[in-house]
Structure 1
């Protein structure tokens, strides 16, 4: 009986540790349609983030980490129907959200395409979660072209 209890406990622990967050692959057409339908104003940017606090320290015992708010620098361009447009080099306020033990992170030094919320009198805002559907790391030519097509012809979320 003692062996069965130990085996059951080990199985339960393994199942808990093996659980993972499953995210759908982000779709640029859906992202554009959501931003276009929002009451807030968004700008689509293509470029790189730098600065920020770096990755979160790993703490497996913390199953409910706090959201983080900090500033990063974004360098790149806005994106429109013709592709990269106005140059951008400015501070962006970042809010990293967590879902249970999984938290978002913003990569530095990598090409990204994302949607920044623009509020009058404030730095642009990027809100990211672990399954953030509006953030594309190392975007493909097809993803960038999909956004350009959305500007030219409109897009509807699937």
Structure 2
């Protein structure tokens, strides 16, 4: 068997596990669609989290899921864009997939989806290892996509 063919077969065999752990680029329309289709009620927010535990001691690999409280300061986003000031504690739940764990960036501008507590308690931010519902340094395009989804509806492609 030619060396090039062996090398190609080996690279394909080794690519399987690595690509299984790769995450797709977060998509604001997909995140909005997921939240809109959920049984739970979500609110979209833009701002910063602070007072959390900070980075994971071992980084984002090899850790365990964790839950804690952080303080959010920013705005809720509705059909007209940022509308209502929000300063409140939020329950954070970071999950892990295989070896990879989510980690909420502190003191960084984010746009994300908070799950409302039906009993009026603290909202919850559920972060999976790929963080598909968290957007750091949100752009005007993110806000425009959200307002379009509110106005016309949207589905992820």
Structure 2 partner of 1:123:
122
4+ runs deviating over 6 angstroms: none
Given the superposition, is the C-alpha separation of residues 111 and 121 from structure 1 closer, same or farther in structure 2, using an over 3 Å criterion? same
Aligned pair partner of 1:104 in 102, 105, 130: 102
Q: Distance in 1 between matches of 2:72 and 2:40?
A: 20
1:84 maps to 2:76: no
**In structure 2, what is the Cα distance between the partners aligned to 1:103 and 1:47?**
22
Name stretches of at least 5 consecutive residues in structure 1 with no aligned partner.
1-14
Match of 1:145 in 2: 144
3-state SS in 2 of match to 1:93: strand
Return the alpha-carbon distance in structure 2 between the equivalents of residues 104 and 59 of structure 1: 10
> For this pair of structures, how many residues does the alignment match?
141
- Give yes or no for the alignment of 1:38 onto 2:18: no
SS of the residue 1:45 aligns to? strand
Unaligned runs of 5+ in 2: 1-13
SS state of the match for residue 35, structure 1? Answer: helix
Structure 1 pair 153–107 and aligned structure 2 pair: CA distance change class (3 A): same
**How many angstroms does 1:140 deviate by?**
1.6
Query: How many angstroms does 1:121 deviate by?
Result: 2.8
Give the TM-score, by structure 1 length: 0.82
Shift of 1:69: 0.4
- Superposition deviation, residue 19 in structure 1: 4.4
Give how far 1:129 is off. Answer: 1.4
Q: Secondary structure at the match of 2:130?
A: coil
1:35 and 1:59 mapped to 2: Cα distance? 28
Distance 1:84 1:92 in 2: 19
Question: Which residue is 1:72 aligned to?
Answer: 70
Provide the residue aligned with 1:53 in structure 2: 53
